[in-house]
């Protein structure tokens, strides 16, 4: 009889509703860590896409007037601007996430939005790089 009393005593908080119910591995802390991990993974993906785009543009005419270097081409100045902008974006995300650390809902939203923004940006930049490489291969094949 004493043994059943121990079990009932241990489960009392669950019956009263004061204990946190949850599946192991599905606690809010784990959820936040997953969102943070998603954001942290998105950063090198975004940087890699910037590197790919810059390498595909090197020495070629640059359509983006902000990034145009000497004679309207993509050069060292263009790379510095491109990576300065990318670094500024990541620093802004970091600052926003730090600023919202006391408001879990807003912080989670900022982590998720920043991660997906980085992934979408990486997709756009990768598409631009593919376009640039196709232009390069077409000019080689056509003799231009």
Expressed as residue numbers, the domain containing 119 is 54-144
* Element at 44 (helix H, strand E): helix 28-57
Q: Which residue has the higher pLDDT, 10 or 139?
A: 139
pLDDT at 4 over 80: no
Is residue 128 situated within a structural domain?
A: yes
Is residue 59 situated within a structural domain?
A: yes
The tally of domains found in the chain comes to 1
Is residue 42 situated within a structural domain?
A: no
Do the Cβ atoms of 101 and 107 come closer than 8 Å? yes
Is residue 35 situated within a structural domain?
A: no
Is residue 47 situated within a structural domain?
A: no
- Long-range pairs, 58-62, Cβ under 8 A, ≥24: 60/132, 60/135, 60/136
Do the Cβ atoms of 59 and 47 come closer than 8 Å? no
pLDDT at 134 over 70: yes
The pLDDT score that the predictor gives to residue 47 is 98
Lowest mean pLDDT among 14-18, 114-118, 138-142: 14-18
Q: Which residue has the higher pLDDT, 119 or 7?
A: 119
The pLDDT score that the predictor gives to residue 58 is 94
Is residue 13 situated within a structural domain?
A: no
Is residue 22 situated within a structural domain?
A: no
- Tens digit of pLDDT for each residue in 64-115? 899 999 899 999 999 999 999 999 999 999 999 999 999 999 999 999 999 9
Is residue 65 situated within a structural domain?
A: yes
- Tens digit of pLDDT for each residue in 7-54? 555 555 544 555 454 445 556 688 889 999 999 999 999 999 999 999
């Amino acid at each position: 009889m004493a043994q059943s009393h121990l079990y009932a005593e241990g489960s009392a908080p669950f019956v009263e509703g004061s204990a946190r119910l949850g599946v192991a591995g599905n606690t809010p802390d784990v959820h936040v860590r997953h969102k943070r991990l998603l954001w942290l993974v998105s950063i090198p993906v975004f940087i890699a896409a910037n590197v790919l785009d810059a390498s595909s543009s090197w020495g070629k005419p640059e359509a983006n007037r902000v990034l145009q270097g000497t004679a309207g081409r993509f050069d060292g100045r263009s790379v510095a601007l491109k990576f300065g902008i990318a670094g500024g974006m990541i620093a802004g995300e970091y600052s926003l996430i730090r600023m919202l650390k006391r408001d879990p809902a807003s912080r989670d939203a900022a982590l998720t939005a920043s991660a997906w923004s980085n992934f979408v940006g990486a997709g756009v930049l990768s598409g631009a790089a593919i376009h640039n490489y196709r232009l390069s291969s077409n000019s080689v094949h056509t003799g231009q």
